[in-house]
Amino acid sequence: MIAQKAINIFEKVQVFQRKIYLSTKADNKRKFGVLYDKVYRKDILKVAWFYVKRNKGSAGIDDFTIEEIEAYGVQKFLDEIEDQLRNKKYQPKAVKRVYIPKANGKKRPLGIPTVRDRVVQTAVKIVIEPIFEADFQEFSYGFRPKRSANQAIREIYKYLNYGCEWVIDADLKGYFDTIPHDKLLLLVKERVTDKSIIKLLSLWLEAGIMEDNQVRSNILGTPQGGVISPLLANIYLNALDRYWKNNRLEGRGHDAHLIRYADDFVILCSNNPKKYYQYAKQRIDKLGLTLNEEKTRIVHATEGFDFLGYTLRKSKSHKSGKYKTYYYPSRKSMKSIKGKVKDVIQTGQHLNLPDVMERLNPMLRGWANYFKAGNSKQHFKSIDNYVIYNLTIMLRKKHKKSGKGWREHPPSWYYNYFGLVCLRKLSTNINDDSQRYGR
């Protein structure tokens, strides 16, 4: 009975979202002035809590964890949020600044809101996302329902095969930290005029950032880590997408195709790449953003370029002699997964082998599921060999044995007896020329 109620709540919210989406799609000038009361609807708050709990995440500056809220009482917690929103007493807290290591050794800043703020942000997202989804362009893939990075890669693959020879590989400098609040809210108001919703968005944008026990004000940007931030970031860059669409730059006569995943984008064209670079730069300048000219490149498709963890390149096929497009894990992606494998094995030397496998397998499977559709067979073999090598070294050291250990512990021993994930078996697009890029 409880499960049936939960299903009904999700269905009810989905029906609500579908109605808003269709209404927006039917009228490209419609504005929504009464939305705030939907944010504190009981069903929407319950669905918002479900998503926040599913995504887990650390506590914010109040140190209140999801587990502590469950002990406190979820319904009581949601009732308090409903009361605060209904009576316009809700005030967000500052976000907690943490730093996440990047593959290049640098660190990426994240802003972690409190669990309470994450629930309210999710509720607002549930209400307003369908409105903006109706406006977003088909070539935008990042942080959107039923869209993925692999779809973006397949679209690039398609255009490279259709004859696009030039690539503008763009990089925005500190995008999430440089979005102008006033311009962003003006874009939101093109569709949402409910003053209470705008007030909530303003409060989150201006919420301070706590770092080293000090709170500093936030006058630019939307902190990475907030639930609402990816949607706001897409709303802002949709101005670039609309410009591209309205000027028919992807149509006949131009044939310049923009593919965007959040703040990462490429432009694929048959000729005149410098012209389309200038088109993009002028629009980005108008948005108050900055192209990183050191990292933004214009390359020929035969040189190859990296995007969303893949390297994409046009090369001549050994068999047919014709140029074909290949895509496979980039050097950075290979280095990253090897580093994670090594870390798991080194930190798990005190564990028995099944426990080490329990840590390795989800990581390997997740990585393989992302890259399996590309020309990745040889790359998967390389990672398989790297995993086996490091596991064997670990066992030799653990049991103080000399020699390489291949005879005593061949690869089949790890796969058949301990269930180690074999990546090469997960590759789904085994191309006849895939070995040329193996490493």
Span 145-165, pLDDT tens digits: 999 999 999 999 999 999 999
Contact assessment for residue 312 and residue 305, using Cβ atoms and an 8 Å cutoff: yes
pLDDT of residue 342: 96
Q: Which amino acid is at 130?
A: P
In our burial notation (b when 16+ CB lie closer than 10 A, e otherwise), range 252-263 reads: eebbbbbbbbbb
User: How far is 155 from 378, CA to CA, in rounded Å?
Assistant: 23
pLDDT of residue 406: 57
Q: Which amino acid is at 181?
A: H
Residue 120 has pLDDT above 90, yes or no: yes
- Multiple choice CATH, 139-174+226-308, 1.10.3720.10, 3.30.750.80, 3.40.50.720, 3.30.70.270: 3.30.70.270
209-211 and 95-101 strand pairing: parallel
The residues, ordered by sequence, that sit 6+ positions from 421 with a Cβ below 8 Å of its Cβ are: 360, 361, 364, 365, 368
DSSP state of 94: P
Task: Show the tokens assigned to 160.
Answer: 């490279």
Interhelix angle for 377-398 vs 331-347, to 10°? 20
The residues, ordered by sequence, that sit 6+ positions from 431 with a Cβ below 8 Å of its Cβ are: 326, 375, 377
Residue 218 phi, psi (nearest 5): -125, 110
User: How far is 402 from 290, CA to CA, in rounded Å?
Assistant: 57
pLDDT of residue 326: 96
User: How far is 269 from 356, CA to CA, in rounded Å?
Assistant: 47
As separate numbers, helices (DSSP H) first and strands (DSSP E) second, the chain gives 16, 11
Q: CA of 24: how far to CAs of 41, 143, 231, 291, in Å?
A: 21, 20, 17, 32
* Domains in the chain: boundaries: 2-134+181-219, 139-174+226-308, 329-437
Find tokens 């044995």 and name the residue: 401
| pLDDT more than 90, % of the chain | 76
User: How far is 234 from 422, CA to CA, in rounded Å?
Assistant: 37
Residue 173 phi, psi (nearest 5): -80, 115
Q: What is the mean pLDDT of residues 3-16?
A: 82
The residues, ordered by sequence, that sit 6+ positions from 381 with a Cβ below 8 Å of its Cβ are: 423, 424, 438
User: How far is 192 from 250, CA to CA, in rounded Å?
Assistant: 29
pLDDT of residue 438: 45
The residues, ordered by sequence, that sit 6+ positions from 62 with a Cβ below 8 Å of its Cβ are: 93, 114, 116
Residue 434 has pLDDT above 60, yes or no: no
Residue 124 has pLDDT above 70, yes or no: yes
Q: What is the mean pLDDT of residues 69-74?
A: 98
Residue 90 has pLDDT above 80, yes or no: yes
Mean per-residue pLDDT over the chain, rounded? 92
Q: What is the mean pLDDT of residues 316-344?
A: 93
Report the first-to-last Cα separation within the chain, whole angstroms.
54
User: How far is 242 from 132, CA to CA, in rounded Å?
Assistant: 12
Residue 1 has pLDDT above 50, yes or no: no
Find tokens 């301070």 and name the residue: 208
**Overall pTM surpassing 0.85 (yes/no):** yes
User: How far is 364 from 362, CA to CA, in rounded Å?
Assistant: 6
Q: CA of 428: how far to CAs of 102, 151, 288, 320, 360, in Å?
A: 29, 15, 43, 21, 21
Q: Which amino acid is at 410?
A: P
User: How far is 331 from 382, CA to CA, in rounded Å?
Assistant: 12
Task: Show the tokens assigned to 346.
Answer: 């080194």
